[in-house]
Structure 1
């Protein structure tokens, strides 16, 4: 396996870390030991990079090693019994007290597996915080079998990812109904790469507009959403705008008309959205006008805006400048790659950013025909003493 780059890289990563952090440089002697340590290394990276914690690897190795060995013992024991699902009592028998996250990404789970999983989780719904079933062909029937767990008053799930699970309108109906009956715990929902269509999105809105809904991240990229879906979504979010922090609708053909239908939510004084991703949504000048106007009326909350791969052109960029030059604008990341911007657009952008240069940290203008003349028009912003830009991409 060491001739395969991914295994060779993993092996080197483990051995390097093991030699640096273990007294006496004792190395793993089996593939199982090496894989356990690799999991710990990845856990350390996650803890430092995403959770802001300290990297205490030696203690982590011992703790994770014991946990992984216990899981292996549980798996072997249950395999001998012909069982596919572990229950809480099985885990406790092998010394594992509680499980907060479950990921079974691309494990070929179908309706039958959802039935077993849903039944097990329904019997003990209070401990699980994260569930990732992405890449499994659950279909609508499989999703329906999970709803008994989701609608339980004792369910405390905070993150649900069902990316590319073959979900359509019927699955949205089941999911929306279950989440509406228990809307307060979920913080992140990712249904990307499912053909929900406008009809499916509409069936989720009952959950989204509930006063008890506390959802912070909603990802619906590549879901076949158009103007009609934006109408349903915009109306639901407008009625409850204060919780959502991140909205990703990338790669849906929203068009200008769809973007306009979202502006009621965006311009609400109670809107606290931090990240808006509308990459590849068929937006042109008119959509920029609606978006720029909405954001200008409420410029202080948004921190990241991605409009890449929309043919905004120079005229569209100009319509966004009212938002960008507002003294209340706190935008930190602006992505406009592949937007058909030329010298004229650089002039508008440079002027707007020069009038409010302190907040922006990252600007992506790759894939545009800026040329030397366009770059020159950005320099007034870049040479400002107040400019806080840290990353600039234009190749």
Structure 2
């Protein structure tokens, strides 16, 4: 599980090959690496050993043996790695090396760890630039250096990093502070670094890197307290993607309890009865996200967990066909960025997205729309019932759907009461698009007016042949003139509407007569009409009932009584 996410990174495959080749071609009988920290620790020692054989012509030695020179150079590289990891730098100049006590000769000897590349700084001369072979190697060496500073009581380095006064914290306290520090990062640039630090708490890695990491006092229960800290940490506002790193840290510490509990949960038949902690949810989200099998549906409402737990499950959206949020789950812009990333992915599987009954702020809607407008977006069904869409949100949605109109077949915007005053025209722009393939439009309880009906009909007549269901129930402001516009659409020769739902719209006998006239003009498609809750008498709908009974018309179902 720890290696799975890295398997598509070429440099990691090379690192793995280097380590396994060494372990299989020597007489060492060590346990094979099971975590990233294991793998990178072995890689560092193997590269150091190869350097010694190449440049110093030493006899074959155990890879755990480091000379004092090796140790000093590696720690200098670690200092360089850590100093620039904090700043987000991956390239360094000669003066950066010199500040850490390194010279070019030392770096070139450690060619498996740090390579020289050249980049033109200006048109007059070239300036040598240095980098580690991969960012993960920089993160690993930075963790080596920081763990060394902790074990050797180099308080100033740790205090400058954590921005707090140190009072000889135990290892579990130190790891907790580092984790909290990393979760404050918006970019996640310390995530792998923190995973390595937790991995160094494992005895086998301390033994392998003992000359680099130094000795620490392992008090009784310290490791278990560190594990418990990871399981219980709950920082509000942290992206669910970032929270998964907490689970990764548990794996680096070789605590498999959460992993095993999630595997048992996935096999259980009554998943809704099992209560999940937030760390369980992070583990489950990661497991579902990385599964080779695409999930048919992820409905967060079905999981028995806290609101924070449901939020941590959101990354599973990247590997499912249907995704449904629970009501009023209070997601932030950060959370919707994950949904948007799933829509943008060139491997996107998401076909149905239901965010109903969540108050979508404008900033969150704009993030979501960045995914909906992506050419990779494959969503066919979008439900945004009672999301309190504003004018800005409607404009963003209409623009996004116009950018990518051909996939969406069903749109539900019911109970967004601001549509009629703010964003209706923007949505009509999408409906009028020649590439629009929408089949089902639900706009129940949207306070639509006669003017809205006119704009809607104008849009639909621009592209009339796709829409098969139109739901406009509980729009009580639609008056007779608005209904006449709808009837005008039904008369359109390109109209293919099969179901028209107009419950509780204050329709009258005159409205029924207009509908009869429209159906007689274009009788071949409409099969269902719902006029319930409109205070109609049997005499008002008699002509419509006659159409139901006539073999010349497709109309099969007429509902007009109070339910």
After TM superposition, the score normalised by the length of structure 2 is 0.49
Match of 1:164 in 2: 327
1:286 aligns with 2:467: no
Shift of 1:228: 2.5
Note the 1:201-240 alignment, pairs <5 A.
201-240=365-404
Match of 1:308 in 2: 473
274-283 or 376-385, which moves further after superposition? 376-385
Match of 2:52 in 1: none
Note the 1:114-263 alignment, pairs <5 A.
114-134=281-301, 139=307, 142-143=310-311, 146-147=314-315, 149-151=316-318, 155=319, 157-164=320-327, 166-170=329-333, 171-182=335-346, 184-253=348-417, 254-263=419-428
Q: 1:166 to 1:319 in 2, by over 3 A?
A: same
Q: Distance in 2 between matches of 1:106 and 1:303?
A: 40
Shift of 1:141: 7.6
1:331 aligns with 2:497: yes
Q: Distance in 1 between matches of 2:392 and 2:275?
A: 33
Which of 493, 503, 522 is equivalent to 1:356?
522
Q: Decide whether the 8 Å contact of 2:339 with 2:368 is kept in 1.
A: yes
Shift of 1:195: 1.8
Q: 1:138 to 1:299 in 2, by over 3 A?
A: farther
Q: Distance in 2 between matches of 1:380 and 1:146?
A: 52
Q: Distance in 1 between matches of 2:525 and 2:469?
A: 11
The superposition leaves residues 332-388 of structure 1 with CA deviations (integer Å, 9 ceiling, x where unpaired) of 111000001112222222211111122111100001133355324546755654311
**Structure 2 alignment gaps of length 5 or more:** 1-256
Q: 1:130 to 1:293 in 2, by over 3 A?
A: same
Q: Decide whether the 8 Å contact of 1:131 with 1:161 is kept in 2.
A: yes
Aligned pairs, number: 300
Note the 1:20-169 alignment, pairs <5 A.
83-86=260-263, 111-134=278-301, 139=307, 142-143=310-311, 146-147=314-315, 149-151=316-318, 155=319, 157-164=320-327, 166-169=329-332
Q: 1:145 to 1:161 in 2, by over 3 A?
A: closer
1:295 aligns with 2:295: no
Q: Decide whether the 8 Å contact of 1:201 with 1:229 is kept in 2.
A: yes
Q: Distance in 1 between matches of 2:271 and 2:421?
A: 38
Shift of 1:168: 2.9
Q: Which has the larger radius of gyration?
A: 2
The superposition leaves residues 21-76 of structure 1 with CA deviations (integer Å, 9 ceiling, x where unpaired) of xxxxxxxxxxxxxxxxxxxxxxxxxxxxxxxxxxxxxxxxxxxxxxxxxxxxxxxx
Q: Distance in 2 between matches of 1:179 and 1:219?
A: 15
Shift of 1:209: 0.6
Superposition RMSD in Å: 2.9
Q: 1:134 to 1:145 in 2, by over 3 A?
A: closer
Match of 1:4 in 2: none
Q: Distance in 2 between matches of 1:251 and 1:110?
A: 34
Q: Decide whether the 8 Å contact of 2:425 with 2:455 is kept in 1.
A: yes
Q: Distance in 2 between matches of 1:220 and 1:106?
A: 28
Shift of 1:124: 2.3
Q: Distance in 2 between matches of 1:140 and 1:202?
A: 23
Shift of 1:331: 0.8
**Structure 1 alignment gaps of length 5 or more:** 1-80, 97-101
Which of 342, 352, 360 is equivalent to 2:508?
342
Shift of 1:300: 0.7
After TM superposition, the score normalised by the length of structure 1 is 0.68
Match of 2:439 in 1: 274
Q: 1:122 to 1:384 in 2, by over 3 A?
A: closer
The superposition leaves residues 291-345 of structure 1 with CA deviations (integer Å, 9 ceiling, x where unpaired) of 1111111111011110000021222111112211112111111100000111222
1:367 aligns with 2:533: yes
Q: Distance in 2 between matches of 1:390 and 1:325?
A: 18
Q: Distance in 2 between matches of 1:309 and 1:352?
A: 22
The superposition leaves residues 154-194 of structure 1 with CA deviations (integer Å, 9 ceiling, x where unpaired) of x4x21112232604342223322343235632111111122
Match of 2:162 in 1: none
